[in-house]
């Protein structure tokens, strides 16, 4: 073993405490990147595959009612690739385990059984048979939450009528990847979705041959905004409520919001940890070179080249960061699997697997190496510039001069200790700035780890302490007359009732909508 190699291992042993600290910080950066970025990519891949397989639509629109023959006119709109029209109806499902009935929608399936767009993915059982009365496929998450399966019956309320349906299958849907309602994200046991054949839904709703919801896929390169405008014009006479793209679909909207947050975390959190690692490497290595001035001078006098000595200190840093990167990769893979398992409880994908790609490993290792190089760069420059003869003796004291503090005569009001501190800060601004950035990065780690708790607490305080101060909220499937208000006011324990009616609108300002 060569002399510098033996010195490398001795230095690593002497610096074991600092080396472990730096390795753990680098490992935290790598683990956070691998965990979050791989989880984001898993979500992205699962979403895209699921949307493509079940043909998730690009444009959605609700309306009062229109004949199904109008689908041909919608399909002729420039830019529209496919059209699927369905009959939908709000439903409630009284369940013994729930204080309030589960809410959701009853949707029709075409006679062929397989939808052109937004098709369902069967997890158990089969699809409803045409001509068979009241067979239904139920949303898998709802069925699982209540222990329902093929062969069971379910009572639902459709248009104030209690209807018993027979469950023949359970399914997932790209429209219910995340269980969301107008009031926010809901529990699996409180959101119900049912799919039945067109003739059965028409009989229950009382509108044969009509649809009240349309979904469209858009041709590649076509303008979604232009398609939406054309759809609104066609459906305006039929009570169209304004078409929207995927951003108006609740499940997709919540999914995109979560993925956007993950993508931001995959960048910000690792960068904070890497900034702390760079600071620690710089401080530790600067101190080592300062203590080993005479050793460096002797090695140079014995013929060791500047580049060889620089490689020695660089190897020391890269060894430390590489250990941290290895720890981070292992921890990131484990944490990523746990994160995906957690997301699987909220995101309903047929296939949802965590996978770390070669790209994640390459970026993680590259970032850890870059952090080590940036942290030791100034140290390497000082090693290569150090003349052997000068390094044989102690470092010369810096050249002192009258500082700004002295010229402003502020020192008259300060003690001796404060004068020394302020003069050192003024004479070495680079060290001051770098130290401040390192401390700022360390504080940022604490803030990043705790801000969400404070943010949620503030959100709850504003939302339920100022905006919505009621104790109970009642939602009706359809608008009710004022007599309903008086009925609620006479409920024992009710102090005040505030009615509200909401309706969807589209706001336009110039070319924006």
Three-state secondary structure of 326-338: HHHHHHHHHHHHH
Average pLDDT for 433-453: 76
d(CA 247, CA 408) in angstroms, rounded, equals 60
Between 266 and 392, the more confident residue is 266
**405: pLDDT confidence band, cut at 50, 70 and 90?**
low
Between 304 and 263, the more confident residue is 263
**354: pLDDT confidence band, cut at 50, 70 and 90?**
confident
3-state secondary structure 21-50: HHHHHHHHHHHHHHHHHHHHHHHHHHHHHH
Please give the share of the chain, as a percent, with pLDDT higher than 70.
90
Predicted pLDDT of residue 412: 65
**How many contiguous H segments (helices) and E segments (strands) does the chain have?**
15, 13
Say which range, 75-89, 171-185, 362-376, has the weakest mean pLDDT. 171-185
Predicted pLDDT of residue 394: 64
How many angstroms from the chain centroid is the CA of residue 470? 31
- C-alpha distances in Å from residue 112, one per residue of 38, 52, 108, 119, 348: 39, 20, 11, 12, 25
Average pLDDT for 405-431: 69
**297: pLDDT confidence band, cut at 50, 70 and 90?**
confident
Residues 6+ apart with CB under 8 A from 201: 87, 89, 106, 107, 108
pLDDT at 184 over 60: no
Cα atoms found within 13 Å of the Cα of residue 92, Cβ hemisphere only = 15
Average pLDDT for 193-214: 88
Predicted pLDDT of residue 185: 54
Average pLDDT for 398-418: 65
Average pLDDT for 11-23: 86
**484: pLDDT confidence band, cut at 50, 70 and 90?**
confident
**389: pLDDT confidence band, cut at 50, 70 and 90?**
low
The tokens describing 133, both together, are: 């009365």
Between 43 and 418, the more confident residue is 43
Between 382 and 185, the more confident residue is 382
Say which range, 94-108, 249-263, 415-429, has the weakest mean pLDDT. 415-429
Average pLDDT for 253-265: 87
Average pLDDT for 14-19: 85
- Judged by phi (left if over 0) then psi (alpha if -120 to 50, else beta), residue 136 lies in beta
**403: pLDDT confidence band, cut at 50, 70 and 90?**
low
Predicted pLDDT of residue 503: 78
Residues facing residue 347 across a β-bridge: 178
Say which range, 53-67, 124-138, 419-433, 455-469, has the weakest mean pLDDT. 419-433
Between 133 and 390, the more confident residue is 133
Average pLDDT for 437-465: 79
Q: pLDDT digit string (tens) for 109-122?
A: 887 656 689 999 99
pLDDT at 1 over 80: no
pLDDT at 182 over 60: no
User: What mean pLDDT value characterizes the chain?
Assistant: 84
Predicted pLDDT of residue 486: 85
| Sign of the torsion formed by the C-alpha atoms of 400, 404, 406 and 412 | negative
């Amino acid at each position: 073993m060569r002399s510098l190699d033996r010195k490398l291992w001795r230095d690593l042993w002497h610096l074991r405490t600092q080396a472990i600290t730096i390795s753990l910080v680098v490992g935290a950066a790598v683990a956070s990147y691998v965990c979050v970025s791989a989880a984001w990519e898993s979500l992205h891949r699962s979403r895209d595959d699921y949307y493509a397989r079940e043909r998730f639509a690009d444009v959605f629109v609700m309306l009062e009612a229109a004949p199904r023959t109008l689908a041909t006119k919608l399909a002729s709109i420039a830019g529209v690739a496919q059209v699927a029209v369905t009959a939908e109806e709000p439903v409630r499902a009284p369940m013994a385990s729930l204080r309030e009935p589960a809410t959701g929608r009853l949707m029709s399936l075409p006679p062929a059984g397989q939808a052109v767009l937004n098709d369902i993915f069967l997890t158990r059982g089969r699809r409803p048979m045409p001509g068979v009365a009241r067979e239904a496929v139920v949303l898998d998450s709802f069925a699982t939450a209540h222990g329902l399966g093929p062969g069971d019956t379910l009572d639902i309320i459709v248009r104030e009528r209690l209807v018993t349906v027979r469950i023949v299958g359970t399914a997932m849907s790209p429209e219910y990847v995340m269980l969301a309602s107008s009031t926010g994200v809901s529990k699996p046991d409180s959101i119900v979705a049912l799919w039945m054949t067109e003739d059965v839904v028409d009989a229950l709703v009382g509108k044969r041959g009509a649809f009240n919801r349309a979904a469209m896929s858009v041709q590649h390169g076509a303008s979604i905004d232009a398609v939406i405008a054309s759809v609104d014009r066609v459906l305006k006479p039929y009570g169209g409520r304004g078409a929207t793209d995927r951003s108006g679909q609740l499940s997709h909207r919540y999914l995109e919001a979560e993925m956007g947050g993950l993508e931001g975390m995959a960048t910000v959190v690792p960068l904070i940890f890497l900034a702390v690692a760079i600071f620690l490497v710089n401080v530790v290595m600067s101190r080592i070179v300062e203590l080993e001035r005479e050793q460096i001078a002797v090695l140079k006098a014995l013929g060791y080249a500047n580049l060889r000595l620089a490689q020695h200190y660089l190897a020391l840093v890269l060894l430390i960061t590489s250990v941290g990167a290895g720890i981070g990769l292992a921890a990131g893979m484990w944490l990523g699997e746990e994160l995906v398992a957690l997301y699987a409880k909220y995101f309903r994908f047929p296939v949802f697997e965590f996978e770390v790609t070669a790209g994640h490993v390459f970026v993680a290792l590259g970032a850890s190496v870059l952090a080590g190089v940036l942290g030791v760069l100034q140290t390497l420059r000082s090693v290569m510039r150090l003349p052997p003869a000068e390094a044989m003796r102690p470092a010369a004291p810096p050249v002192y001069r009258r500082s700004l503090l002295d010229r402003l005569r502020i020192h008259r009001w300060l003690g001796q200790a404060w004068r020394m501190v302020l003069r050192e800060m003024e004479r070495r601004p680079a060290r001051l700035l770098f130290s401040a950035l390192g401390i700022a990065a360390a504080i940022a780690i604490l803030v990043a780890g705790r801000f969400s708790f404070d943010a949620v607490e503030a959100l709850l305080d504003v939302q339920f302490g100022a905006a919505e101060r009621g104790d109970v909220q009642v939602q009706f499937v359809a608008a009710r007359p004022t007599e309903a208000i008086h009925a609620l006011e006479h409920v024992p324990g009710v102090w005040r009732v505030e009615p509200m009616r909401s309706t969807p609108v589209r706001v336009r300002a110039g070319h924006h909508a």
